[in-house]
Amino acid sequence: MRTYDLSPLMRATVGFDRLASLLDTASRVDEATLGYPPYNIEKTGEETYRITMAVAGFGEADLDVTVQENSLVIKAGKAKPEADKGVRYLHRGIATRAFERRFDLADHIQVTGARLENGILSIDLEREVPEAMKPRSIAIETKGAPKVIENAAA
């Protein structure tokens, strides 16, 4: 696996240290959880998004979705049920191992809802930019009438 040294980037930029930190954490991939559980990130509208995650084998009580600052954390864990202790599997393809998946959210992204249906966990997100942060146009005023200068042939 390749590692990148981002310290020259951090020295040469002002205000982009969070971006460099995000790139650094994105490059560190845990090989054991690579690709599990599979998920999609969809843009459902102009300012709305949805994270859809396949969580087959987990119920609503087994899942925990939390938002803290700019981080969305989805955890799942399943206690071994009593009925499962005496079962011998010939093939076990449905993974019900515990996982924790983190998503770094951009500024002003709010989680608006989550639902579990047919083994698919859907988390709805919306960008809510405060009025103070939205662009606004400024009127330009002039004092008096503009002066017109005519060109005369010499």
| Same domain assignment for residues 105 and 41 | yes
| Same domain assignment for residues 68 and 12 | no
At 109, which CATH number?
Answer: 2.60.40.790
CA dist., res. 76 & res. 62, Å (int)? 6
Per-residue confidence band for 31, with pLDDT thresholds at 50, 70 and 90: very low
Residue-level pLDDT at 80: 66
Distances (CA, A) of 80 to 76, 87, 97: 13, 11, 10
Looking at the chain, the number of H-run helices and the number of E-run strands are 2, 7
39 close to 53: Cβ distance less than 8 angstroms: yes
Question: Does residue 151 lie within any of the structural domains?
Answer: no
| Same domain assignment for residues 16 and 74 | no
Identify any residues that bridge with 75 across adjacent strands, giving them in sequence order: 64, 100
Question: Does residue 93 lie within any of the structural domains?
Answer: yes
- Bigger pLDDT: 50 vs 87: 50
57 close to 92: Cβ distance less than 8 angstroms: no
CA dist., res. 22 & res. 41, Å (int)? 18
Tell whether the model's pLDDT for residue 152 goes beyond 90. Answer: no
117 lies in which domain range? 35-130
pLDDT per residue over 74-104, tens digit each?
999 877 665 567 778 888 887 778 899 999 8
- Bigger pLDDT: 75 vs 145: 75
Beta-carbon-side half-sphere exposure of residue 55 (alpha carbons within 13 Å):
27
* Residue % of the chain over a pLDDT of 90: 30
Tell whether the model's pLDDT for residue 127 goes beyond 60. Answer: yes
30 close to 101: Cβ distance less than 8 angstroms: no
Cβ atoms < 10 Å from Cβ of 47: 13
| Same domain assignment for residues 67 and 82 | yes
pTM comes to 0.63
- Bigger pLDDT: 79 vs 36: 36
Tell whether the model's pLDDT for residue 49 goes beyond 60. Answer: yes
